[in-house]
């Protein structure tokens, strides 16, 4: 198989972690006889510095000619005070919308050797294995009108039936490949958009009689993610609820720094990125933990290229390195030897 991958390192530790992930990707290519052509593009803060826009046309073009996108991270204090259109995260929102990356997959898995870093009791989180499927191109993020007047401000939460249908279908399909359960999260007792959402789920579930379905209000979901996270398999929800719940879910197992994500389109084209930020305080020092970006490459292999075995090879290697007690600075206990980004990546490569 031959694939072209657009790599957008972004800001802060983005360049280091994408470099590590590309290294692993190339090792997988050699081992499984695939060719991955990697080309680099600009996004976020460094794009603002160079091109005066967080998402230059060159980058869009590069991505258009590629089969998938690997993103590092964007943002940093340097651009925090910029006007809205010159903020790094606008690049992120724009690329999602431009490529219609409507399905954001955010898996959360308990890693036994990392549970000690969890704020939750081990017995509550040790069996967590869930995936939040967040709608990424609709709702309050892009609804019009979104405006200011002298005395008030307005945002619009709008969903078409079609937009809901495709994300709900995605969730059902993912559940089939996992534990067979979908929790649909809405605020049906308050929002019109949630009533439509719930109707679509009720309609779609007829096509997936093998999948168990439950509806949950967003406030209740915010509680259950803390009190009983093991009860979830696939959680599907709209954009803003998904933003909040996926971040909440990302901290329960203590593995925030190692969680990957995928943002995909119907045809499989997708963007893959770690969910952690740019960590400007440690950027450029070889201290960053590349696990999340490496696992994002694993997701790319599976969801964009259908390479399940190759994906599993990476996931197993990462887990093995953790189990052998090798950590970067963010995860190491005082007694552990601390590995640099490169050293840790090489351990994964060895596995």
Distance between CA atoms of 36 and 119, rounded to whole angstroms? 39
Interface pattern 129-168 for a second copy (x via CB under 8 A): -----------xx-x--xxx--xxxxxxxxxxxx------
Q: How far apart are CA 91 and CA 102, in angstroms?
A: 16
The rounded distance, in Å, linking the Cα atoms of 1 and 4 is: 10
| Cβ-contact 341, 284 below 8 angstroms | no
- Which segment (87-95, 208-216, 289-297, 307-315) binds ligand IPM by CB under 6 A? 87-95
Tell me which of 243, 272, 287, 302 is the catalytic residue.
Answer: 243
- When asked if residue 335 is in the footprint of a second copy (CB under 8 A), the reply is no
Q: Is 87 annotated as a binding residue?
A: yes
Q: 219 among the known binding-site residues?
A: yes
247 part of the interface to a second copy, by CB under 8 A: yes
How far, in Å, CA of 81 to CA of 59, rounded? 24
Smallest distance, ligand IPM to C-beta of residue 310, A: 26
The residue to which tokens 């470099």 are assigned: 19
Catalytic status, residue 336: no
Q: Rule CB under 8 A: say whether 267 interacts with a second copy.
A: no
Q: Compute CA 281 distance to the chain's CA centroid, rounded to the nearest angstrom.
A: 22
Closest Cα partner for 313 from 328, 297, 290? Answer: 297
Residue 220 contact among ligand IPM, a second copy, none, beta carbon within 5 to 8 Å by kind: a second copy
Active site residue 187: yes
Judged by CB under 6 A, the stretch of 4-12, 32-40, 89-97, 283-291 that binds ligand IPM is 89-97
**177 forms part of the interface with ligand IPM (CB under 6 A):** no
Strand-pair partners of 42:
none
Q: What does the block give as tokens for 19?
A: 């470099």
Cβ of residue 225: shortest distance to a second copy, in angstroms? 8
Q: What distance in Å separates the CA atoms of residue 59 and residue 47, rounded to the nearest whole number?
A: 9
The pair of structure tokens assigned to 269 is: 């084209």
350 binds, among ligand IPM, a second copy, none (CB under 5 to 8 A by kind): none
Under the binding rule (CB under 6 A), the answer on residue 266 touching ligand IPM is no
- The one segment of 60-68, 103-111, 239-247, 324-332 that binds a second copy by CB under 8 A: 239-247
**Count, residues in the chain:** 351
CB 102 within 8 A of CB 166: yes
Report in angstroms how near the CB of residue 87 gets to a second copy at its nearest.
7
Give the whole-angstrom CA distance, residue 61 versus residue 6: 10
Active site includes 51? no
Residue in 188, 147, 145, 180 with CA at minimum distance from that of residue 164: 188
Q: Would you give the DSSP letter of residue 213?
A: E
Q: Using an 8 Å Cβ cutoff, are 321 and 344 in contact?
A: yes
User: Which does residue 223 touch among a second copy, ligand IPM, none (CB within 5 to 8 A, set by kind)?
Assistant: a second copy
212-217 and 234-237: which strand pairing?
A: unpaired
Task: Give the separation between CA 154 and CA 131, rounded to whole angstroms.
Answer: 32
The residues of the shown chain that bind ligand IPM, judged by CB under 6 A, are: 89, 92-93, 189-190, 219, 243
Which positions are annotated as active-site residues? 141, 187, 219, 243, 247
Q: Which residues are annotated as a binding site for substrate?
A: 96, 106, 134, 219
Q: Which residues are annotated as a binding site for Mg(2+)?
A: 219, 243, 247
Q: Which residues are annotated as a binding site?
A: 76-89, 96, 106, 134, 219, 243, 247
The residues of the shown chain that bind a second copy, judged by CB under 8 A, are: 87, 89, 93, 118-121, 124, 140-141, 143, 146-148, 151-162, 187, 189-193, 195-197, 218-220, 222-223, 225-228, 240-241, 243-248, 250-252, 256
């Amino acid at each position: 198989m031959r694939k072209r991958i657009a790599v957008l390192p972004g800001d802060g530790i983005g360049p280091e972690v994408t470099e590590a992930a590309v290294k692993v990707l190339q090792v997988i290519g050699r081992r499984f006889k695939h060719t991955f052509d990697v080309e680099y593009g600009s996004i976020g803060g460094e794009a603002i510095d160079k091109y005066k826009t967080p998402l230059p046309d060159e980058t869009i073009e590069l991505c258009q000619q590629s089969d998938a996108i690997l993103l590092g991270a964007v943002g940093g204090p340097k651009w925090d005070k910029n006007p809205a259109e010159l903020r790094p995260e606008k690049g992120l929102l724009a690329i999602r919308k431009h490529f219609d990356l409507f399905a954001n997959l955010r898996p959360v898995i308990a890693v036994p050797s990392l549970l000690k870093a969890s704020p939750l009791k081990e017995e509550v989180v040790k069996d967590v294995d869930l995936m939040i499927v967040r709608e990424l191109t609709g709702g309050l993020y892009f609804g019009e009108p979104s405006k200011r007047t002298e005395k008030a401000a307005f945002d619009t939460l709008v969903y078409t039936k079609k937009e809901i249908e495709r994300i709900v279908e995605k969730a059902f399909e993912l559940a089939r490949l996992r534990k067979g359960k979908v929790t649909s999260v809405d605020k049906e007792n308050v929002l019109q958009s949630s009533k439509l959402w719930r109707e679509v789920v009720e309609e779609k579930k007829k096509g997936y009689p093998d999948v168990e379905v439950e509806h949950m209000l967003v406030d209740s979901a915010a509680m259950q993610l803390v009190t009983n996270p093991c009860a979830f398999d696939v959680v599907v929800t709209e954009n803003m609820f998904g933003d909040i719940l996926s971040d909440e879910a990302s901290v329960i197992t203590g593995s925030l720094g190692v969680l990957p994500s995928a943002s995909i389109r119907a045809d499989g084209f997708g963007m893959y990125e770690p969910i952690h930020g740019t960590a400007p305080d440690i950027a450029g020092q070889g201290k960053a933990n590349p696990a999340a970006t490496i696992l994002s490459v694993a997701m790319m292999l599976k969801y964009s290229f259908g390479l399940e075995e190759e994906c599993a090879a990476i996931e197993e290697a990462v887990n093995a390195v953790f189990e052998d007690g090798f950590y970067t600075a963010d995860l190491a206990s005082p007694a552990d030897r601390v590995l640099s980004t490169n050293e840790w990546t090489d351990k994964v490569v060895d596995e």
